[in-house]
Structure 1
């Protein structure tokens, strides 16, 4: 089995440093451009089926990447972005930076001490649901010879990759920065065990800013 795990393309909220989480924001024109460039780079890769977060930005990215391939695309809420509850919509940079943004920024700077709002989700909860998704896919006998696209989000993708590495430490959640928009990580699965083959592959020429928002 091969998994191609991709973060969605850019959105307007990425660009203006606004927290998205589960808020359903579509790709902007530049995000669609990045997805088309990525689709061109991946056109020689066989894809047998896809899984996507139900959120618009991930679904649109998946559809662009699949192009004219006649393959099924399944929505799975377990690979949605982390819910940030009442923090969603908050500006975390620029002149309109929200006064509460420092509490949110702990998610990146001090994840072990990040406290989500009451209506938000914790990192262990994110690890649990994304881990359940990964375990189910890797165990399916009928998928062992398949090549699968997985379209997801910055924190959800990071949780998946951390689990593959075997490190579920909350304090070390951000081993690296947020994966760039439309970056692709290739994972090989043998005997139900996933292994990262290539990480953070970029198929577009532009140097995209690494937004410190998800």
Structure 2
């Protein structure tokens, strides 16, 4: 199976470099343009299935795609829920003084919200258990950077810190070949 993973396009600048999680934010003007460009890039692709996170930024990214009419919007493709830390930057959280950064894994576990283990299991279940049971050879998935990085960590056996150093910019498209267990960027 070939899964085309698309990170939603750019959101409003005030949400850049923040733990946005489940905040239902929309796209910036640039994000709308990026979505249109992605739709044009993938217009000739025939996908057996189309899935997207049910959050507004993913829905708006998918809107200009001709493949959008058959999309399935699901919570399982949402970013991690950060609880009371949602909408805050690293610096804002540090300034609050409740959490001190010691190392990446400690930091991730210290933040409020969905436990990281549960988040990883959610991503693993969708991509490695649920999708393979579907009758599909090609799948389009519009989701979030964290979901893509967690999938890469699981497949490539990377630490979370290594995976979160992988650049997954807004509007990026990556193909995950489940047979070869490889990731390749679409340009």
Normalising by the smaller structure, the TM-score range is 0.7 to 0.9
User: Does the 8 Å contact 2:53/2:59 carry over to 1?
Assistant: yes
Aligned length: 185
CA-based RMSD of the aligned residues comes to 2.7
Structure 2 Cα separation of the partners of residues 87 and 100 of structure 1: 10
**Residue 75 of structure 1: aligned partner:** 73
Within-5 A mapping of 1:1-214 = 1-13=1-13, 16-64=16-64, 67-69=65-67, 72-92=70-90, 97=92, 99-100=95-96, 103=99, 106=101, 110-114=103-107, 115-118=109-112, 120-140=113-133, 142-143=135-136, 146-167=137-158, 169-177=159-167, 179-190=168-179, 195-199=181-185, 201-202=186-187
State which drifts further: 3-12 or 84-93.
84-93
User: Does the 8 Å contact 1:188/1:196 carry over to 2?
Assistant: yes
Structure 1 residues 72 and 2, CA, compared in 2 at 3 Å: closer, same or farther? same
How many Å apart are 1:20 and its aligned residue? 0.9
TM-score between both structures, scaled by the size of structure 1: 0.74
Structure 2 Cα separation of the partners of residues 172 and 54 of structure 1: 27
Structure 2 Cα separation of the partners of residues 132 and 77 of structure 1: 13
TM-score between both structures, scaled by the size of structure 2: 0.84
**Residue 208 of structure 1: aligned partner:** none
- Kindly provide the CA deviation profile for residues 107-162 of structure 1, in whole angstroms up to 9, marking residues without a partner as x: xx9321113444x123222211000001234421522xx32111111111111122
What secondary structure sits across from 2:22 in the alignment?
Answer: coil
**Residue 210 of structure 1: aligned partner:** none
User: Does the 8 Å contact 1:84/1:116 carry over to 2?
Assistant: no
Runs of 5+ in structure 2 lacking a partner?
none
Q: Which has the higher helix share?
A: 2
